[in-house]
Amino acid sequence: MQTDFLIIGSGIAGLTYALKVARQFPDKQILIITKAQADETNTKYAQGGVAGVMDAENDSFDKHIEDTLIAGDGLCNPRVVEIVVKEGVDRIRELIQWGAQFDKEKDGDYKLGKEGGHSEFRILHHKDVTGKEMERTLLEELNEFPNITVIKHWFVVDLITQHHLGCLVTKATPDIECYGVYVLNRETRQIETVLAKITLLATGGNGQVYRSTTNPVIATGDGLAMVYRAKGRIENMEFIQFHPTALYQPGVTGPSFLITEAVRGDGGILRNKDGEAFMERYDERRDLAPRDIVARAIDSEMKRTGTEHVYLDVRHIPVANFIEHFPNIYEKCLSIGIDVSKHLIPVAPAAHYSCGGIKTNEWGRTSIRSLYACGECASTGLHGANRLASNSLLEAMVFAHRCAMDAALYVNEIQVKSSIPDWNAEGTIQPKEMILITQSFKELQSVMSDYVGIVRTNTRLHRALKRLDLLWEETESLYQQTALSPQLCELRNMITVGYLIVKGAAFRKESRGLHFNTDYPGKSSLIQNIVL
Ligand SMILES: Cc1cc2nc3c(=O)[nH]c(=O)nc-3n(C[C@H](O)[C@H](O)[C@H](O)COP(=O)(O)OP(=O)(O)OC[C@H]3O[C@@H](n4cnc5c(N)ncnc54)[C@H](O)[C@@H]3O)c2cc1C
């Protein structure tokens, strides 16, 4: 199979890019491959909204830029921050033109929210289901373009490069090229070869590496692991954002339900088990301090008081207002017996967002030729050591646009590569015991949560690396002997992602942004990105 533009992932990044190239090149073929249902993405679960300077009277680009730089704690690329903040407004307006409905005041102005780290009200939202609305808009807009094809339930296994033509490819190889991907067709269980002139990775985040995460099950860092295997550059993987307030539900497996930061923006107060509003002891911005500070404060309160959660108190917010802004959260709480007007909501931190990822330049190019990356899987330089809330949907749209603009400049010069060998599955057998995969998956999550969570130490990182080595060895042996399954591929990818997080954390001899190591509590004077 071959195409002009190949896109892996159907979240905001992949879909925005698809629409851009489809509009520009009605005569070219665009293929989107996704491993689940088209809308089963991190994007769909975004609650809080998308940040943008929509109120020029009270807000400004400079303020949004400054807030982003402060959150990034010295590691943002200022040029990229300026690009995203300034171009982001046009991308939001485009999305509105395509039909996205953001909440409005009675006078017709957009109802703008405020979240931790933002100095002004600038978060556009659609109640508390903003991502769902954005995903819906993009998928509907896709129908306008007959040159876009979406294939669901195909699992992309690996990027095809010179390595598959028998060449030795190392990190030092100057011109690694991407010719397309090998994909597992889940229905036939065959591995297909899909060749393309240009490939975009929009594979999203990797929260599933942790036991407790707000990310859906698709978030297994596949794109990152593929690029690492193909000898591309990955950076700043140690910066994992833990959302401070996921709903605490002991015994419930699967993604944790998020209580958006916007609830604190509307006046929600964190309390410990004694009812104390403890945030004032940690930061003068109290409940609206940036996420890393709030997550660490909660972690510290939980450890100090010996509890597995703290509480979010919204009892003082008029219930009608709460229901209007957060209908989904209200319903969810009610469904488990919590009436937010009377009861405290139990919350605990959960892995939420990966700030680092596949290293890209200002146009979304990776270190591998003909391969772009954007959205959560990419590290553009916007977030630095910590993401400012609601900047990620914005970044995905801005960089999807930029990738499309750049790819358009040279797509006509590229020929689809011929003579790529088929995937070789000789000598492998169907897996007999899924327990070998599921148990390793649980072990990985435990290692990462217990040793590489919100607070890290050298000893814990060292232990984590040793445990990951063992898991890696066992999984590689399984991989060599068994026919591929999505579960095995995901496990392998997640072990790689875990390894990259631990390596990044071990290399960083300081505490900065989201990375906190008690053996190096201060910031180093050497400001650097860790590239692996
Ligand atoms: C609960 C929650 C709330 C959030 N709230 C906000 C918010 O309010 N504001 C904000 O800015 N950000 C928010 N975020 C973050 C934001 O939603 C994500 O960063 C963003 O949606 C990522 O978009 P994406 O297109 O990069 O990836 P995704 O939307 O995750 O899409 C990834 C796609 O890649 C596909 N894929 C992955 N691997 C493979 C493979 N091997 N083969 C084939 N397909 C593959 C998946 O199936 C999926 O289609 C939130 C995230 C979560 C989880």
User: 231 near 169, Cβ under 8 Å?
Assistant: yes
Cα of 219 vs centre of ligand 1, distance in Å, is 7
H or E segment and range at residue 227: helix 222-229
Of the candidates 173, 222, 169, 181, the one whose C-alpha atom is nearest the C-alpha of residue 42 is 222
Using CA atoms, how far residue 422 sits from 94, 160, 164, 241, in Å, is: 41, 11, 9, 39
Edge to edge, the sheet with strand 378-379 lists 234-235, 357-359, 378-379
User: 474 near 497, Cβ under 8 Å?
Assistant: no
DSSP 344: P
DSSP 287: G
Cα of 134 vs centre of ligand 1, distance in Å, is 12
Record the tokens describing residue 270, joined without a space. Answer: 């964190």
Q: Does the C-beta of 221 come closer than 6 Å to ligand 1?
A: no
User: 370 near 199, Cβ under 8 Å?
Assistant: yes
Residue 433 contacts by C-beta under 8 Å, 6 or more apart in sequence? none
Q: Does the C-beta of 151 come closer than 6 Å to ligand 1?
A: no
Atom of ligand 1 nearest to the CA of 12: 25
Extended beta strands in 106-177, E state: 123-124, 148-151, 154-160
pLDDT of residue 461: 96
Among 150, 181, 358, 392, say which to mutate for ligand 1: greatest number of ligand atoms within 8 Å of CB.
392
User: 445 near 211, Cβ under 8 Å?
Assistant: yes
**Quick one: 152 exposed, middle or buried, by C-beta within 10 A (0-12, 13-18, 19+)?**
middle
Ligand 1, atom 35: nearest CA belongs to which residue? Answer: 9
H or E segment and range at residue 30: strand 30-33
User: 228 near 373, Cβ under 8 Å?
Assistant: no
Report the distance separating Cα 103 and Cα 108, nearest Å. Answer: 9
Q: Does the C-beta of 204 come closer than 6 Å to ligand 1?
A: yes
Atom of ligand 1 nearest to the CA of 374: 26
Q: Does the C-beta of 215 come closer than 6 Å to ligand 1?
A: yes
Categorise residue 327: left if φ over 0, alpha if ψ from -120 to 50, beta otherwise.
alpha
Among 7, 15, 43, say which to mutate for ligand 1: greatest number of ligand atoms within 8 Å of CB.
43
Record the tokens describing residue 457, joined without a space. Answer: 């130490």
Q: What is the pLDDT along the chain (532 residues), one digit of tens a residue?
A: 999 999 999 999 999 999 999 999 999 999 999 999 999 999 999 988 999 999 889 999 999 999 999 999 999 999 999 999 999 999 999 999 999 999 999 999 999 988 878 999 999 999 889 999 999 999 999 999 999 999 999 999 999 999 999 999 999 999 999 999 999 999 998 999 999 999 999 999 999 999 889 999 999 999 999 999 999 999 999 999 999 999 999 888 778 999 988 899 899 999 999 999 999 999 999 998 878 889 999 988 988 888 889 999 999 999 999 999 899 999 999 999 999 999 999 999 999 999 999 999 999 999 999 999 999 999 999 999 999 989 999 999 999 999 999 999 999 999 999 889 999 877 777 777 788 899 999 999 999 988 999 999 999 999 999 999 999 999 999 998 888 999 999 999 999 999 999 999 999 999 999 999 999 999 999 899 999 9
Report the distance separating Cα 225 and Cα 232, nearest Å. Answer: 10
Cα of 256 vs centre of ligand 1, distance in Å, is 15
SS3 125: coil
CA dihedral 118, 121, 125, 128 (to 10 degrees): 70
Q: Is 460 among the catalytic positions? A: no
Beta strands 191-201 and 371-373, pairing class: parallel
Cα of 506 vs centre of ligand 1, distance in Å, is 27
pLDDT of residue 442: 93
Q: How many CA atoms lie within 13 A of 32 on its CB side?
A: 29
Q: Does the C-beta of 225 come closer than 6 Å to ligand 1?
A: no
Record the tokens describing residue 206, joined without a space. Answer: 């990797």
Q: Does the C-beta of 203 come closer than 6 Å to ligand 1?
A: yes
Ligand 1, atom 20: nearest CA belongs to which residue? Answer: 43
Q: Which amino acid, residue 446? A: S
Using CA atoms, how far residue 33 sits from 30, 180, 332, 360, in Å, is: 10, 12, 32, 21
Record the tokens describing residue 280, joined without a space. Answer: 């004032």
| DSSP secondary structure string for all residues of 398-446 | HHHHHHHHHHHHHGGGPPPP--PPPP--TT-B--S-THHHHHHHHHHHH
Cα of 390 vs centre of ligand 1, distance in Å, is 13
Cα of 315 vs centre of ligand 1, distance in Å, is 32
Task: Select which of 211, 264, 291, 296 is catalytic.
Answer: 291
Record the tokens describing residue 182, joined without a space. Answer: 């090998």
Q: Does the C-beta of 378 come closer than 6 Å to ligand 1?
A: no
Q: Which amino acid, residue 173? A: T
Whole-model pTM over 0.75: yes
Extended beta strands in 50-101, E state: 50-51
Using CA atoms, how far residue 254 sits from 9, 207, 211, 492, 524, in Å, is: 21, 11, 9, 20, 38
Record the tokens describing residue 476, joined without a space. Answer: 């590689």
Helix, strand and coil percent figures for the chain, each rounded to 5: 40, 15, 45
SS3 260: coil
SS3 504: helix
Cα of 58 vs centre of ligand 1, distance in Å, is 31
Tokens 């009377």 sit on residue: 342
Ligand 1, atom 16: nearest CA belongs to which residue? Answer: 43
User: 299 near 348, Cβ under 8 Å?
Assistant: no
CA 329 to chain centre: 21
User: 34 near 10, Cβ under 8 Å?
Assistant: yes
